[in-house]
Structure 1
Amino acid sequence: MQFLDSLPLNILILASLTLGLAPFFPEPHIVEKLRMLAQGQLTKPIDIGDLLMHGAPWVLLLAKLARMALVKG
């Protein structure tokens, strides 16, 4: 938990909005990869790596927000 507490919230928000959504057009990569996952088409290692790379900032941001809510409340 110390690692999560040491991450600045503004950096996580910035990472989520840039790396987490890039490329922005025609659609964010994370949306495309989540759609592929839901359809069962996420089979190539490059696609799985893309999902992990573009999803990591979002997972860290959500974990940080949940941790802040639990510690505060």
Structure 2
Amino acid sequence: MRWIDRIPKWWLVAIAVYLAGAPFVPEPHLVEKWRMLTEGSLSKPIDIFDFFLHNAPMVVLAIRLWRDAQRRREGNN
């Protein structure tokens, strides 16, 4: 997982924010796909792929932040 540590944090944040909101009009895909998931209508392969595509940068960012916090905590002990 060292490859995640080499990606600049600002870059991960920028990509996560962009893909979370894209396309911005009329409704972000992420909002649409989460709504479809909760309604049970997320069944087409392209919609499932799109759901993972728009969530992936946020997952990578969360892993990076968690690893940074772990490293900080281990450094303080």
Please confirm whether the aligned pair reaches a TM-score higher than 0.5, indicating the same fold.
yes
Query: Post-superposition shift, 1:8?
Result: 1.1
Paired residues, number: 73
Which TM-score applies when normalising by structure 1?
A: 0.90
Partner of 1:71: 71
Q: Provide runs of 4+ in structure 1 moved above 4 Å.
A: none
Partner of 1:4: 4
* 2:21 is aligned with 1:21: yes
**Identity percentage of aligned residues:** 47
In structure 1, stretches of 5+ residues that fail to align are none
Query: Post-superposition shift, 1:19?
Result: 2.1
Cα distance in 2 for residues equivalent to 1:70 and 1:63: 10
Partner of 1:36: 36
**Max Rg structure:** 2
In structure 2, stretches of 5+ residues that fail to align are none
Cα distance in 1 for residues equivalent to 2:47 and 2:29: 10
Cα distance in 2 for residues equivalent to 1:14 and 1:32: 21
Structure with higher helix content? 2
